A and B are shown apart, each in its own frame.
Chain A
Amino acid sequence: MIAVDELTVRFGGVVPIDRMTLTFEAGTCGLIGPNGAGKTTFFNVMSGFVRPMTGRITAFGDDLLSMHDFQRARWGIRRTFQTEQAIAQLSVFDNVLMVQEHTGGERASRRQAVMEAIGFVGLDAHANKQVGGLGAAQRRLVEVARAVVGTPRVVLLDEPAAGLPDDETEHLAKVIQRIPAETGALVILVDHDMSLVSACCATAAVLDFGRLIASGTTSEVLRNEHVIRAYLGTETEL
């Protein structure tokens, strides 16, 4: 469980996250909202790239904000980025191994751990291929494999389906759905593709201008009129 308490981030006059208080339960939770709502900023606070002005984040009983940024991966936080960051020069295997060995993975079992993660996303056949030669969807899967290798506790997925065609998004959704059960990690999914969010997330939270405007089960949240107004903008006519 992750408890976010009164979290505020301020960049000069801009307040991307404004007194956010929210609890993420085990399983997969969607974090949605229009562009600029503060979703990625929240991920950056979780990763340690952004220092909040006030607030606390307690993850599984540990005070997350007191940890160094690079230590958080070792603690169990993994993430993907909006712009995909798989390393083109390395093979799929080495990409995943890089994360395994820097998050405290044992050397003796590294091959097994890495191959399990690659198998998890269904890239077994491509393990020794260079990532640079793979397609966009496969590179996204490499990122997911990097996020699940070893012992992840929290997996943050930042628009993993951005730019993917529908059939590939479906495969990605199936992979994401299996993460909580097979790795035990809590997953937070940011995406604009509501079908992906509905397919993967039991619960969802909605941010708008840095404020939490709704949270609850995904179907409830997506029917909430504030959410529809903020996210889809259907009621603010010209």
Chain B
Amino acid sequence: MDAVQPQDVTVPVSGWAAWTRDIDVSPRQAVLFGVFILLVFFVLPEWLNSYFLLTMTGVVIYSIITLGLGLLIGRVGMVSLCQFVLAGIGAWVSLRLSYATDLPFPVLVLCGGLVTMAIGTLIGLPAIRLSGLYLALITLMAAGALTILLRTAQFPNGGSGFFGNSSAGGASSLLPRPSIARSDVAYYRYCVIAALVMFAVATWHVRGKPGRAWAAIRQSEASAVAAGVHTTRYKIWAFALASFTAGIAGGLLAASAGGVAISQFPVSNSITLLAVVLLGGVYNLWGAVVAAVFMRLVPAALTYYWGWSTEILTILFGVGVIQVLLTAPGGIVEQMPKDLGRLARKLTGRGKKTEAAP
């Protein structure tokens, strides 16, 4: 209000105080989060066999891809069907750069992220005008176009320089890992740290000024404009952030065991990705982790233990998405604690509320 008298002393909230207020985490949440990270970082790699270690590395990297898409859908209300292919672009750029330059690994991955961000932003430009089905269609077409581009440009199979090509090369390419993370276990931990950084970036966005602007846009674009939100800028920003996460994940994927091949980024995977992201839950960043588990761990476990075809998952995810859309819009990450609590109350016959993992 402009009625603030000059004698009113304005107490500026210091950066740190504002930051801790923005974080807004209860001690219980902090402890749960700490335990979860310790488990993932130290216990899991000791306990897993090499097959599941690779799978979990995949889960960690995929959670960065699903993080970006979940943010776009849940926070801004925009759909993208090119998120998965954008990860392929990230892999392509960081691999080509590694053939052409001697840049250190983090810089390669970061460059992959930034170039992917630029491309994703270009695709996102129609997002200013379009929404819903039309936006989904545009991004799906873009995904198809990018896949064709990668195929014609010969998905990096070696050769020298940025546009080189080796006719002798195999179908997949491996980005050399950083010296501190040569082994599979060390690389797994490296990816966990990278994912933590990306989740921190996402949290900072969601809890801060962009997050509030996105919430306003999702509520109603008209009311956001009336509140002074530059809706075009913030929608493009969201698209850029989602593309950046995909690009970073692509770079990390290129250095995981087996490397990457163009066949890993089919357009159809972008649709599966949308399904698992909805299934996991888009209103909570943890939903991204659940989605990554569905995308990577569940198929691997089915194959490993029962030798099932992963095709069956398409059906299961379809049923799951229907269930989520009809009864639990918050996805598994929000529904599961409620259901477990209800189950616990039923079992103990008392009103004590129990909650599962965060």
Contact check, B222 vs A81: say whether CB atoms are below 8 A apart: yes
CB contact between B216 and one of A98, A111, A112, A116 (< 8 Å): that residue: A98
Interface range on chain A (Cβ under 8 Å from partner):
35 or more
User: Which residue of A has the minimal Cβ distance to B9?
Assistant: A112
Q: How far is the CA of A69 from the CA of B12 in the complex (A)?
A: 31
Q: How far is the CA of A196 from the CA of B13 in the complex (A)?
A: 39
CB contact between B3 and one of A88, A89, A182 (< 8 Å): that residue: A182
What 1/0 flags go to B195-218 for Cβ under 8 Å of A?
000000000000001001101100
Task: Answer whether A90 and B215 are a contact pair too, CB < 8 Å, given A101-B209, A111-B13.
Answer: yes
Most chain A CB within 10 A, of B1, B215, B223, B231, is at B1
A77 surroundings in chain B (CB, below 8 A): 226
Interface range on chain B (Cβ under 8 Å from partner):
20 to 34
Contact check, B226 vs A73: say whether CB atoms are below 8 A apart: yes
CB contact between B215 and one of A70, A89, A184 (< 8 Å): that residue: A89
A-B pair count, CB < 8 Å, reads: 95
Q: Check: B307 CB closer than 8 A to any chain A CB.
A: no
What 1/0 flags go to B10-46 for Cβ under 8 Å of A?
1111000010000000000000000000000000000
CB contact between A108 and one of B4, B10, B227, B228 (< 8 Å): that residue: B10
B13 surroundings in chain A (CB, below 8 A): 108, 110-111
Q: Check: B50 CB closer than 8 A to any chain A CB.
A: no
B222 surroundings in chain A (CB, below 8 A): 47, 49, 81
Q: How far is the CA of A79 from the CA of B226 in the complex (A)?
A: 7
User: Which residue of B has the minimal Cβ distance to A146?
Assistant: B227
Contact check, A69 vs B225: say whether CB atoms are below 8 A apart: yes
Contact check, A70 vs B230: say whether CB atoms are below 8 A apart: yes
Contact check, A94 vs B212: say whether CB atoms are below 8 A apart: yes
Q: Check: A10 CB closer than 8 A to any chain B CB.
A: no
Q: Check: A215 CB closer than 8 A to any chain B CB.
A: no
Contact check, B1 vs A120: say whether CB atoms are below 8 A apart: yes
User: Which residues of A are in contact with B by a Cβ distance under 8 Å?
Assistant: 47-49, 69-74, 77-79, 81, 85, 87-90, 94, 97-99, 101-104, 108-113, 116-117, 120, 146, 148-151, 182-184
A selection of 26 A-B contacts at a CB cut-off of 8 Å is A47-B222, A49-B222, A49-B225, A70-B228, A72-B228, A73-B226, A73-B227, A73-B228, A78-B226, A81-B223, A81-B226, A85-B220, A87-B216, A97-B212, A98-B216, A102-B209, A102-B228, A103-B227, A104-B228, A109-B4, A112-B8, A112-B10, A112-B11, A113-B1, A148-B1, A182-B1
